[in-house]
Amino acid sequence: MVAVQEVTDQNFSSFILSDTPVLIDFWAAWCGPCRLLSPIVDELGLDLGEKLKVGKLNVDENPQTSRQFGIMSIPTLLVFKQGKSVRQIVGYMPKDQLLARIADLLN
């Protein structure tokens, strides 16, 4: 099973429809903080595989979804439950802080 999946404008709507919470990392290759956060997002995907579906969306390659959700700063993480955005986290943070920010959504 792939822990973290690539998300695009084309598959976004179907990707966020899930019985488990979905975390999407909005990122870009030129973004330093995005590169720092990326391995943490990968770890969350591996650690929380059954409790959390994780995807990454490149904002440069997928501008439609980025605009739809008003992504102005990256990295931005959006968490969805039943296809609805329930939490937005902007900027880099260590893994323990990120886990604390989403722990209540993992029930």
pLDDT per residue over 47-56, tens digit each? Answer: 998 899 999 9
Q: Which residues, listed in sequence order, are joined to residue 80 by a DSSP beta bridge?
A: 22, 85
d(CA 90, CA 72): 10
In the prediction, which pLDDT does 46 show?
93
pLDDT tens-digit series, residues 63-107: 999 999 999 999 999 999 999 999 999 999 999 999 999 999 996
DSSP structure string for 50-96: TT-EEEEEETTT-HHHHHHTT--SSSEEEEEETTEEEEEEES---HH
2 falls in which pLDDT band (50, 70, 90)? low
- Whether 12 and 43 have beta carbons less than 8 Å apart is answered as no
CATH 2.60.40.10 fits 4-105, yes or no: no
What's residue 50's pLDDT? 87
Locus of tokens 């990454």? 56
Cα separations in angstroms, 38 against 13, 18, 83: 22, 22, 23
pLDDT of residue 3: 80
pLDDT at 22: 97
Which residues are annotated as catalytic?
31, 34
CA 61/CA 52 separation, integer angstroms? 24
